[in-house]
Structure 1
């Protein structure tokens, strides 16, 4: 199929119509109601600074089921001795900015000023959250994403100190599980996520879970 071209009208094509690489639509904007509709539909934005918004729904999808969270022996030791202080949602703006800066140093980033502004709006409305690892009162690792219903849609993470992002991820997943979250969306596979218990599931299964829990 051809990739859908979005305008000001608020809609998305069915996520199951995405191309083989996951690309579903191009264009539109990052206003709050469009972003919420996207995530509830299993779709997320991912594009470079010099591109229009690109909207994706890959198949398969990388996810973590909270009860499958994997904690290695080395991470168990860090958790046992409280190597970092975990804070929930106290420095969202700093977390998303540091995620963008970290990615930019590695390979460029999709976390543009426009993205930061859009997700800070979602944070102010109670949809976007951060999990943070602090050391000596300094923010040294963390991640952010959206919670809609009982699904958490993870977006990005950063680490200034070894294992800080893993620590924040583990503590956040444990807290979300206690709060009733049934699925953590990780979007795209990475070995880092796999080491924490992430696995791939069919897009159809992902969309079914998302529809039932958002």
Structure 2
């Protein structure tokens, strides 16, 4: 992997650099300028807060093409019954905090540090980062956030405090913006995402999609 210079905002070309683990570079900082440029290059930060920042461009890449969204019969009933209501960008920081604190299977701790929170909140204030909130009986029970880069929504993290909350929020979002975004970047494959229609594509195919304006 390449060590980044602290004096300039640059990344190695992920098309030309293909490490087995998908880690393209390390170091640098979490300035809004560097993080935004990373996403524009097809990279994202993911690391243990006690260690140096790692910048990833996995191959393959997990994505969802909006037209491939799968909605199960049980989830259709959830929507018919009005189990949840949805908002956007109403409490971005609170969504990130919930993503930070939620316990995840097979994961110890979180990569969402206080610096991470500040940077992405600043990107939200710039109109680049977006949140979706899922409500039930007036309580925030689920949600997710991500960045808008060209015609791609780069999903970062989601949380749910009740069954189906994050899944419902995701379906709501994809259905609403299916004609806006060419794909949803899910980064890393999970069974949860596959059940919603996510698939894996090559790094090159992802970067080709990212380059389309």
Q: TM > 0.5 between the two? A: yes
Counterpart Cα distance in 2 of 1:82 and 1:18: 46
Shift of residue 144, structure 1, vs aligned partner: 0.5
Q: In structure 2, what is the equivalent of residue 5 of structure 1?
A: 3
Q: In structure 1, what is the equivalent of residue 92 of structure 2?
A: 92
> How has the CA–CA distance of structure 1 residues 104 and 97 changed in structure 2, closer, same or farther, with 3 Å as cutoff?
farther
Indicate conservation of the 8 Å contact 1:18/1:56, yes or no.
Answer: no
Shift of residue 7, structure 1, vs aligned partner: 1.9
Indicate conservation of the 8 Å contact 1:59/1:203, yes or no.
Answer: yes
3-state SS, counterpart of residue 119 of structure 2: helix
Counterpart Cα distance in 1 of 2:103 and 2:92: 17
Q: In structure 2, what is the equivalent of residue 116 of structure 1?
A: 117
RMSD: 1.2
Indicate conservation of the 8 Å contact 1:31/1:118, yes or no.
Answer: yes
Counterpart Cα distance in 2 of 1:57 and 1:95: 25
Q: In structure 2, what is the equivalent of residue 15 of structure 1?
A: 14
3-state SS, counterpart of residue 157 of structure 1: strand
TM-score by length of 1: 0.95
Q: In structure 2, what is the equivalent of residue 57 of structure 1?
A: 57
Listed one character per residue, the Cα deviations across residues 135-168 of structure 1 (whole Å, up to 9, x for unaligned) are 1111000110001221100000000000000001
Counterpart Cα distance in 1 of 2:173 and 2:51: 32
Indicate conservation of the 8 Å contact 1:88/1:172, yes or no.
Answer: no
Q: In structure 1, what is the equivalent of residue 138 of structure 2?
A: 137
Counterpart Cα distance in 2 of 1:95 and 1:172: 15
Indicate conservation of the 8 Å contact 2:150/2:212, yes or no.
Answer: no
Q: In structure 2, what is the equivalent of residue 175 of structure 1?
A: 176
Shift of residue 103, structure 1, vs aligned partner: 4.0
Listed one character per residue, the Cα deviations across residues 51-100 of structure 1 (whole Å, up to 9, x for unaligned) are 11100000000000011111111001001121101111111100011001
3-state SS, counterpart of residue 55 of structure 1: strand
TM-score by length of 2: 0.95
Matches within 5 A, 1:22-171: 22-103=22-103, 107-171=108-172
Listed one character per residue, the Cα deviations across residues 87-131 of structure 1 (whole Å, up to 9, x for unaligned) are 111111000110010047952110111110110000000000111
Alignment size in residue pairs: 210
Q: Please state which structure has a larger fraction of its residues in helix.
A: 1
Counterpart Cα distance in 2 of 1:126 and 1:174: 21
